[in-house]
Structure formats: C-alpha cells, structure tokens
A and B are shown apart, each in its own frame.
Chain A
C-alpha cells in the first residue's frame, strides 16, 4: 500500500481501480484532498474509484458536496464509484440524501473490488 506524504491522501491502485482512503472527519480540508486525489487517479486512467471510509467517523455538509462532486467527475469520465466500509450513521445520511442512488456501498474494500470486477466483466449492452 502506498504510504502518503504528509498532507496527502492515502491511496493505491488495483488494476484500473483506485482505492482512496478518507480520513476520520470528512470536511472541507480533507474532502478537497480526497477530491484532488480522485481527479488525479481518473486523469491517470483509472476506470473505477473505491473510497474507503473505514477511518471515517463523521461526514459534514461540505463533505457531502465534495463527494457529489467526485461522483459527478467520475460519471463524466465513465468511471464507477464504490464507497466501502461506511459506518451505520453515515450510511443513513447517504441514503437520506440520495447519494446511494449514484454509488454502490460495499462492506469492505475486498467486496468493493469484487463488485467492480464483476462490472468490468459484464459486457456493455448497446
């Protein structure tokens, strides 16, 4: 796993999927770092993003807005987004606000990658 430099977001790649780790409190500062990292990974050719919330206790309004921005950018790039290891309280928040209409929630990183591998092997229907 890549070790982040101070002030950088932890992330690593599995094939064409980037796994990005959110911090304990997803606010403006940390949210913007995650957004930048996701954009960077998409620019580098990643076709899917897994945002891991295993360390995340709380997501505030700015965090929601930034996550929606990431979803938007990913959709424009034809990439899928999976949120993994989201705690119950945050799951409720995502469901209430409708984020779950745009992303898949996975129990953990492994499940997220499995989900995406299934998607990759599913032939595109024209």
Chain B
C-alpha cells in the first residue's frame, strides 16, 4: 500500500473514532484523554496536553500524555493573547518561531516540556482552550497536511469539550430545578396541612381529623402498591377532603347531638362544595377535587352527593372514604365515645361491599396487622390511635379473620364473574 494511502486510512480511522468519542455521553475527562490519544496517535506525536480556559484567564489541564501533571500549573492567558491566537495560522503557533505573546512569554516552560506546537481550541469565535503538542516520533517537521489534520482534530476536541460543558450546565440546572420543585412540593404539602388544620379548627370535636385522614389514606395507598406520586396525591386529598365544611355553619358542625334532616342536608353539601373550591386550583396531583367530592359515596349507591355505585367511584375516593370513616369511628364525637376496635372491625366487615371497597379494607387491615406484628418500620396508625387501642389480645385475630374473609369474598366474586 502506498504510504500516503495508508496515512489517509489511518487519519480517517482516527477522525471517525474521535467523532464517536466526542458524541458519547461518557465521563468528560476520559473523553478528553481519549481524544488527546487519538490526536497524538494520528501523527505519532510523543507528548501533548489539552487545557481549557476557566475563570479569569486561568488554564486548567484536562488531559496530558508524556508530560508531567504539573504542566500549566498557575498559567494564565490574557484576552489579548487569546485574540492573537484566534487569528494565527498553525505555522505561527510553532513554539520555536512564534511571536505570539502567550507562546513567547512561556517559551522556556514550553520548550523544556518538549512542546513544539500550541493551538487554540476555537468554538464560535472564542478561544475555549489550548492543545499543546510535542514533536513527531519520526523527527520530521510538521507538514501542511499535518497542520490541517491537527487543526481539524483540535476543532473537534474543542467542540466536544464545549458540548460536554453545556450538557453539564444543563444537568446542573435540571438538578437545581428538581430541588426547587421538591421545595415547592414541600411548601405545597405544608400549606395544605396548615389548611387542613384550619378546616379542623372549625370543628372542636374533630381536631386533627383531616391530618389523620391524610395519613391513613397515604398508608392504604402504599399498601395497595400505588406509586410515590400517587401516594402523595392521596395524602393531599385526605388533608383536603373536608374543605367544603368551610361553607357549613359552625353550629351544624359542632352540634353535640344527631342533627335534623335540614341541618343534615346542609352538612351533606360539603363534598360538592369542596369540589367547587378545589377545582379551580392547579394541583400537582391528579383528581384531588374528585376525591373530595366523592368521599361520601358508597358502593351500594346510597351515598352522596351523586349516589354513584362501585365502579363509578374513583379508587382514591374509596380510600379517603374508608380513612374518613375509620377516623370517625376511632375518635370521640360530641354524642358518643369512640368505638372499640372489635366494633370497628365488625363494621368494616359488614359494610365491605356496601359502603367500602373490600380491596381497600383488606389493604388497610394488612397495614394495621403489620404494625401489630411489629413488621412495620414505623407505627403511624398505632400512634394516631393512641396508646393501648391496638393492644388487645384479640386484635391480631380480628385482623387476620377480616383479611381472610374479605379475600375469600373477593375470590368468590372473581369466580362468579368468570362463570357468568
């Protein structure tokens, strides 16, 4: 093969490899190091370095081969020196002949390191760094073709470094945005919690109710395998489910006895009113207004405000509904003491499939059982229910029986569906 042909093939191979390297998304320093190897290997140059311009004209060595790591330490390049190199021909950048300020000023350091050529990396008309190259292993002078090859590869490397730096900036901004978004979410959650507390203040007997419904809803959704985002959403829905009570007369809410039909009708407006309040808000989670609107719907269609049945009710609303009812049963009310756990479990069993969704009740029972069995890392339910409430001898048995009965019902229903 003709030497010139072989040289062309060798150079083209290196250019192809360089393009691939620069387009890659790997480690930045490794990219520059490999690019330097490719440039050195194309012309068999014995040593070289790639430096980038950083703040206030400082130079930072990104990759070095065949030279000491301390090369360029403390070196700077002035704007005027950059401009000189920007306009210079490659031949004018040969260390031994150059009158360019940066090169002549650093002549000793460059010569002593065996650097023969200093070329600027130019991106969009700006010097972004320098490529410093030693002589050819052949001992020959650089030819015009060599200069063209070096210039082409230096441009590639410059663009590669610039692109990687831009990507780093984009990633940094994305990270900042992510942090800001996290902060906003935290602010949103805190605001909603504060709002929930404000809702509950209106009702002197159910203080902390909305907060607890939010937590119970979160626990149930987690147990049902919902995503982190969905779990956060249902927690918010729990906090805000009673927001419609803001429009209900305080006397009705605080009535220390069962209220009459008229007052009951007023109170029952709160889910729809909640929907009206929440709908105009652009929540970061889906369906929060609907969960507030339908948290008093029942599977048997006897709920309100719309009398929806099973599949018409969003799963989120079913969860909030159970959390709401559970908290109502397990806290004191003006007209009664809270119910025993045995009584609550009986209610859940009887009303599963009528008022509550069996799958939701099963999930909640499982979450409680995990706490009772000591399998959960934290015990938020136990804490919310207060000391002693889940410590009865038969608690575990009640939960186990409830879960197995509801699972059995679910299997039976599934079998019936298949048969029909």
Residues of chain A touching chain B, judged by Cβ–Cβ distance below 8 Å, are: 28, 60-66, 68-69, 71-72, 89, 92-93, 96-99, 101-102
**CB-CB under 8 A for A63 and B44, given A72-B66, A98-B136, A98-B138:** no
Which of A60, A96, A98 is within 8 Å of B41, CB to CB? A60
B3 in contact with A92 (CB, 8 Å):
yes
Q: What's the Cα separation between A98 and B138 when bound, in Å? A: 4
Closest partner residue, chain A, to B1 (CB atom):
A92
**Can you show 15 pairs from A to B with CB atoms below 8 A apart?**
A60-B17, A60-B41, A61-B10, A65-B37, A65-B38, A65-B65, A68-B46, A71-B46, A92-B1, A92-B3, A93-B6, A96-B3, A96-B10, A97-B137, A99-B44
A93 / chain B contacts, CB cutoff of 8 Å: 6, 10
Residues of chain B touching chain A, judged by Cβ–Cβ distance below 8 Å, are: 1, 3, 6-7, 10, 13-14, 17, 34, 36-47, 65-66, 136-140
Q: What's the Cα separation between A109 and B37 when bound, in Å? A: 28
Closest partner residue, chain A, to B46 (CB atom):
A68
Which A-B residue pairs are the 8 nearest by beta carbons?
A98-B138, A61-B41, A97-B44, A65-B41, A64-B41, A61-B14, A65-B40, A65-B37
Q: What's the Cα separation between A96 and B65 when bound, in Å? A: 21
B138 / chain A contacts, CB cutoff of 8 Å: 97-98, 101
A97 in contact with B14 (CB, 8 Å):
no
- For A28, A92, A97, A102, which residue has the most chain B Cβ atoms within 10 angstroms? A97
B44 / chain A contacts, CB cutoff of 8 Å: 64-65, 68, 97-99
Q: What's the Cα separation between A60 and B45 when bound, in Å? A: 14
A97 in contact with B37 (CB, 8 Å):
no
Main secondary structure of the interface of A (DSSP, over half): helix
**CB-CB under 8 A for A68 and B40, given A61-B14, A98-B139:** yes
Q: What's the Cα separation between A96 and B38 when bound, in Å? A: 16
B3 / chain A contacts, CB cutoff of 8 Å: 92, 96
Whole-angstrom distance from the CB of B65 to the nearest CB of chain A? 6
Q: What's the Cα separation between A13 and B10 when bound, in Å? A: 33
B66 in contact with A62 (CB, 8 Å):
no
A101 in contact with B137 (CB, 8 Å):
yes
A68 in contact with B17 (CB, 8 Å):
no
A68 / chain B contacts, CB cutoff of 8 Å: 40-41, 44-46, 66, 137
A98 in contact with B137 (CB, 8 Å):
yes
Whole-angstrom distance from the CB of B26 to the nearest CB of chain A? 12
Q: What's the Cα separation between A122 and B137 when bound, in Å? A: 26
Whole-angstrom distance from the CB of A92 to the nearest CB of chain B? 6
Q: What's the Cα separation between A71 and B140 when bound, in Å? A: 18
B13 in contact with A60 (CB, 8 Å):
yes
Closest partner residue, chain A, to B14 (CB atom):
A61
Q: What's the Cα separation between A72 and B14 when bound, in Å? A: 22
Closest partner residue, chain B, to A102 (CB atom):
B137
A72 in contact with B46 (CB, 8 Å):
yes
B38 in contact with A61 (CB, 8 Å):
yes
A97 / chain B contacts, CB cutoff of 8 Å: 10, 43-44, 136-138
Q: What's the Cα separation between A71 and B40 when bound, in Å? A: 14
Q: What's the Cα separation between A60 and B16 when bound, in Å? A: 11
Which of A65, A66, A89, A101 is within 8 Å of B139, CB to CB? A101
A62 in contact with B43 (CB, 8 Å):
no
Q: What's the Cα separation between A72 and B48 when bound, in Å? A: 13
B41 in contact with A62 (CB, 8 Å):
yes
Q: What's the Cα separation between A68 and B46 when bound, in Å? A: 6
B140 / chain A contacts, CB cutoff of 8 Å: 98
B37 in contact with A66 (CB, 8 Å):
yes
Q: What's the Cα separation between A52 and B169 when bound, in Å? A: 45
Q: What's the Cα separation between A117 and B88 when bound, in Å? A: 51
Q: What's the Cα separation between A66 and B48 when bound, in Å? A: 12
Whole-angstrom distance from the CB of B50 to the nearest CB of chain A? 13
**CB-CB under 8 A for A62 and B38, given A68-B137, A96-B6, A96-B7:** yes
B34 / chain A contacts, CB cutoff of 8 Å: 28, 62
B38 / chain A contacts, CB cutoff of 8 Å: 61-62, 65
B14 in contact with A69 (CB, 8 Å):
no
Closest partner residue, chain B, to A63 (CB atom):
B41
Whole-angstrom distance from the CB of B144 to the nearest CB of chain A? 17
